[in-house]
Amino acid sequence: MKVVCDRAALLEAINLVSGVVATRTPRPQLTCVKLTAAKHGKGGTLTLTATDAEISLRLRVDNVDVQQPGETLIPADKLRQIVSAEDNEPTLTLEASGDTVDIRGEDAHFKVYGHPPEEFPTVAEFKAAVSGAGGNPPAKAVFKHPAKSLGELISRTLFATARENTRYAINGVLLSREGKKLEMVATDGRRLALCRATLTEKDGPSVKCIVPTKALTLLQRLLGSAQGDVHIAITDNQILFNLSGGEDGGDETAVLASNLVEGAFPPYEDVIPKDNDKTVHVDRDVLFSAVRRAALLTNEESRGVRLSFTGSDKRLDLSSRAPEMGEANIQVDLTEYKGEDVAIGFNPGFITDALKVVTDPDVIIELKKENKPGLIRSGEDFLYVVMPVTLQ
């Protein structure tokens, strides 16, 4: 294999696939990235593939000068370090012979020892998953959704997932497709985020699956510059996302595949309050600033801010205190308030986390009483349930 490629484009691709590479594994092949060079007419492509045995990413770099097609398997960390360090080079030449890769710039030559590419595990392909190649049943659901909207669904739910919880089912995000409705839900047991979107295509089969947090974090990075639709295929144990896949998803320029999280997601519908009788309308930026400032005088022992709502003058008083630190009090004017006065404590980080992903300037808060969960709404498609905290 011998290719000449744009250094900046190569580095961007390496940084993306490195997010999949396993860091601790007895299999050295999983710490590597597989490079596959293919010729197409006068040009060519270089495909980078990485996997940790649970998640895989295949990313294609176009407009590469492929002088000799072939493939090689090279340690991902060394490849990234070298390409990153050669920051004065517009192009780099990569030449593989056996298990050795030579990387050349204008004034530098690196020789890196890798592994036989045939030792790299097979990773899922989008077209094969859709059709059910290799004796596997075809995907039970295949649909597409605009990249921008999918990115919003992820950003508005991913932050609420559990971190290293023994209840594995909440270490990911529930993705649910029913008719033309696409829904994502995440919870860590103390809060719950739900976001909805409408699919543009015809009704399809209903399906639910739990997507790992790591896979969605990587997908978020891929969606940052993506345009058009993302094609999604769901099998019995995997989900695949094909970006820039053409009308039918056949052009596999970037494919992220992930095993699904096993287990049953909690019955989240039961957590969403139905009888809150106090409704607050408040400016998003004003509330975000007030909660952030009130949180300055909290600590791990008193990690809570008291929100006192007064209906007569449509006012919100935010207060906090921490022993040996001091007290804070912030006053906010409400756009609208309906219901009796109420005071309730919340973890301020949980509130600001939700406000960061809200774009609508008008935020709606629904409350019942001090020991019942609060509900934050933004538009018709986002809601957020947060449990109260007990304040001294």
Domains of the chain from N-terminus onward:
2-119 (3.10.150.10), 126-269 (3.10.150.10), 272-386 (3.10.150.10)
pTM: 0.92
Q: How many helices (H) and strands (E) does the chain have?
A: 7, 26
Torsion over CA: 303, 195, 252, 124 (sign): positive
Asked whether the beta carbons of 336 and 274 are under 8 A apart, the reply is: no
User: Phi and psi (nearest 5°) for 154?
Assistant: -70, -50
Contacts of 177 (CB under 8 A, 6+ apart): 141, 143, 183, 199, 204, 205, 206, 207, 208
Q: Kindly report the backbone phi and psi dihedral angles of residue 342, in degrees, each rounded to the nearest multiple of 5, phi listed first.
A: -155, 145
pLDDT at position 87: 92
Nearest-10 Cα torsion for 153, 158, 160, 164: 160
pLDDT in tens for each of the 392 residues of the chain?
A: 999 999 999 999 999 999 999 988 899 999 999 999 999 877 799 999 999 999 999 999 998 999 999 999 999 999 999 999 999 999 999 999 989 999 999 999 999 999 999 999 999 999 999 999 877 899 999 999 999 999 999 999 999 998 866 677 888 999 999 999 999 999 999 999 999 999 988 778 899 999 999 999 999 999 987 788 999 999 999 999 999 755 555 567 899 999 999 989 999 999 999 999 999 999 999 999 999 999 999 887 768 999 999 999 999 999 999 888 899 999 999 999 999 999 999 999 999 999 999 999 999 999 999 999 999 999 999 999 999 998 86
Cα gap 200→195, rounded to integer Å: 17
> How far is residue 203's CA from residue 176's CA, in Å, rounded to a whole number?
13
SS3 state of residue 326: strand
Q: Supply the pLDDT for residue 203.
A: 77
What is residue 134's predicted lDDT score, i.e. its pLDDT?
77
Strands 91-97 and 100-104: antiparallel
